[in-house]
Structure 1
């Protein structure tokens, strides 16, 4: 969810560059011999690369480490869009900054979260709207893969069998991570089956693992970590004897450190959600991201070393 001020700025900027987008797409030039698939962020790009194999060139608008919610498109993004043969986005209101961008480009567009069992945000200004972080569920991510297989097969029918085989192999790896998550946490007592994070970005993963989710703020917003939000999180951790709490890589963990100081809970570590790291970093691929988060959560909640 973007900040309100950012949304207004993006809309104004897109009103200026929309005619340029339309002009660019009319003269689209291929990048090499492979069709170009453009995704909105690095997680989707990595999944798409695994499904596409060598048949498609996959690009991401945002770079590794970027905050996806409040991203503001740049003139350089126009060139990327003008070269694309297919655009993939997450949907579920994640990329509100991208909606008018897509509408201004004459390129096929697929929302890869289509078919996911959507969870709604339950608090604050965004209550009742979809929680966009469905890719954080290894089970839901398998639907992302299916949607990509279908979209890529429509784009390049001659490689449909390869896309399907790649997708099946990738879904098997996702299922392994899902089974590991559920199995490793199965023995936790009820009061310790809680996932407390800075942002409510883990609703889908918590549902998969049978964990109660708690967080300081539901989505990234202009004002984060109010005293009331921190106090409510402290109360939850105390009441449930939660052994460890976490925070995401793209936000400051200072509010959660206040919870740690007030409750004696352990800071369990940094979790990754919206972006992969650079090559050589802790989560250069989506599977690495899931494994890192699952290992971090399991080790902190069970007190084990992984």
Structure 2
């Protein structure tokens, strides 16, 4: 198995122009110090079981990757369950872990704004798992025209993620290429079954109630697949709070269209959406999961659970509203 070594000479804390999310100076200094002290001379897999290590940027990708890898690779996530991925700030421990990985997987589509600086200086290959999906663009706010990064919210898109992982894993570990391909095909069948289940479930929502109002515009792909109108307070999770204009816009839409229920995501505060609830009389339909899985004993320990959960919560809330 090839050993991908960390290049100490390339360690630097450079800030690229135009980054919307920047490392704090103290964090950069800590990362550089950690690298100089611990990473120089490092090697590949540090898991102790002899398997190549695949590192993903967040928990959803890790679960998908484990289904493809089976028992042939060790798959870990940089972020923990419940973490907000957009503005994540890597720690020195994250950098040490990455320097010992054999492959890093990221979503791409501008999801991980911190990723470029994270891998800068690391001689570790990485694959962008969203390559090849039919990308939807953000239609509002300052992000208008940019790709919506939440492509995994469509199980159809995730089948493309799987194909990209099969190729990357086979390049990493050619001896197990057949196992990766077989695992990938089996998991794609599960993905299609969940896709069919989701669209059938949401088909029961009456036409005049088919609006999905959420905090973040993270449901474009799910809404497209299910024939729902997507409405949101803000386009992409960011450090700032929701503006009064964004909240007012959501309130006006809910009132004008008599939307029965609204939702928010698990990784952000639902306080702005609660303002919409108070102003309109709509119910808070529940918490949806997008950017992170839950812990193993939580409601969405796997990606397939995440899609099933969201479809069930949306259907129940909107259907109940139609009958009230």
TM-score of the superposed pair, with normalisation by structure 1 = 0.92
Secondary structure of the residue that 2:114 maps to in structure 1? Answer: helix
Give the counterpart of 1:185 among 178, 198, 202.
202
In structure 2, what is the equivalent of residue 77 of structure 1? 94
Tell me the CA shift for residue 256 of structure 1.
1.1
Contact 1:185 1:302 in 2 (8 A): no
In structure 1, what is the equivalent of residue 227 of structure 2? 210
Cα distance 1:288–1:298, how it changes in 2: closer, same or farther (>3 A)?
Answer: same
In structure 2, what is the equivalent of residue 276 of structure 1? 293
Give the counterpart of 1:121 among 138, 148, 163.
138
Give the counterpart of 1:221 among 230, 234, 238.
238
Cα distance 1:278–1:129, how it changes in 2: closer, same or farther (>3 A)?
Answer: same
Tell me the CA shift for residue 167 of structure 1.
1.0
Give the counterpart of 1:8 among 14, 18, 22.
22
Contact 2:31 2:91 in 1 (8 A): no
Find the aligned partners of 2:309 and 2:241 in 1 and give their Cα distance. 25
Gaps of 5+ in 2: 1-17
In structure 1, what is the equivalent of residue 178 of structure 2? 161
Tell me the CA shift for residue 19 of structure 1.
8.3
In structure 1, what is the equivalent of residue 12 of structure 2? none
Find the aligned partners of 2:221 and 2:42 in 1 and give their Cα distance. 41
Kindly tell me the number of residue pairs found equivalent between the two proteins. Answer: 301
Give the counterpart of 1:286 among 281, 300, 303.
303
Give the counterpart of 1:44 among 33, 57, 61.
61
In structure 1, what is the equivalent of residue 108 of structure 2? 91
Contact 2:247 2:272 in 1 (8 A): yes
Contact 1:133 1:204 in 2 (8 A): yes
Tell me the CA shift for residue 187 of structure 1.
4.0
TM-score of the superposed pair, with normalisation by structure 2 = 0.87
Q: Could you say which structure has the higher helix fraction?
A: 1
In structure 1, what is the equivalent of residue 43 of structure 2? 28
In structure 1, what is the equivalent of residue 274 of structure 2? 257
